[in-house]
Amino acid sequence: MTELSGSSSNGLQQIAPGIYVHTGYEGANVGCILTDVGAIVVDTPLIPEEGKAWAAEVLRLAKRVLYVFNTDHHRAHIMGNQYFDAPVIAHEVAWKEMSGYRDAFIERTKNLFKRQPEIAAQFDEVVIKKPELTFTGRLIVKKGGREVHFIYLGGHTPATCGVWLPKERVLFTGDVVVVGEHPSLGQSNSKEWLETLARLRRMSLNVLVPGHGPLCNVEATQPISEYIRLMRLKVRNQIKAGRSKSEAATVVSQLIDYFPYRPGDRSFVEKRIRAGVNRIYDELRATYDEEKEDVGDEDVLA
């Protein structure tokens, strides 16, 4: 991984000439790619005041914003879209999901901060800004001397995409890669996720920008692969033993300590793991019913 330059105490780092990442906001990491004609923003902060701060930071770096790119449709990546005067780009599935977001979605987001009323109140002004430009496989933008590839990654959700800068060999992964926390498998295709991570390990990368956590390199993909394979193995064993999806929830306690978490977040992490167990149960159950002789060699080899 290349040496980082321009680091600041507020979480903003320049990771290559004209490419910035901010890791200090609540929610997902965000990025800014400068071109000679304006900036391309990668994801926006969850908390409205931080969304405004990020918009101001970007305009300090660039005169205008060309596009905002959302790596998926989850709230940690999209809530600050409205603070940028630029069209949003995302996967077609992200557009479909975000088109269904109503006041109830904003209210649920607000309720995440019910113990922090000063933050909760900020969501009263939020409007969901949906993508105006969508794609399904790969979208290449050539602007102002910069070539930017928006690429489908999948795995985490059917909408999860990344940003690949081939000249600089920098990859924004979205939540396909997270560092130091349990990945969210509640909307995943776990087999596709393993395939995606294996593909990333074959790439020549200088810097990998995860959806959450500090900057890293491809070695950070290995613990995620191991975690997903372990969850698949444990859930498969539950299925082979004839246990129901609710009975398979015993897997949660077996995985809770795999990644660190703050003591006050245990309930949240348990819900995240349980959602992943349920998702993988459905995924493997379909395969098991069709091919009961399949013991899952891909779990060994992926």
Report pLDDT for 290. Answer: 65
Mean pLDDT taken over the chain: 93
| Predicted local confidence at residue 291, as pLDDT | 62
| pLDDT for residue 302 is more than 50 | no
CA dist list (Å): 60 to 34, 55, 232, 243: 11, 9, 46, 56
Question: pLDDT by residue (tens digit) across 224-276?
Answer: 999 999 999 999 999 999 999 999 999 999 999 999 998 889 999 999 999 99
Per-residue pLDDT, 2: 32
And the tokens for 55?
């918009």
Band (pLDDT 50/70/90 cuts) for residue 297 is very low
Residues 6+ apart with CB under 8 A from 100: none
73-87, 163-177, 182-196, 259-273 — which is least confidently predicted?
259-273
Which domains occur in the chain, in start order? 12-220 (3.60.15.10), 226-301 (no CATH)
Size (the chain), residues:
302
In this prediction, residues 96-108 reach a mean pLDDT of 97
pLDDT of amino acid 6: 36
b or e along 39-49 (b: 16 or more beta carbons within 10 Å of the residue's beta carbon)? bbbbbbbbbbe
Comparing CA positions, the residue from 42, 13, 28, 16 lying closest to residue 172 is 42
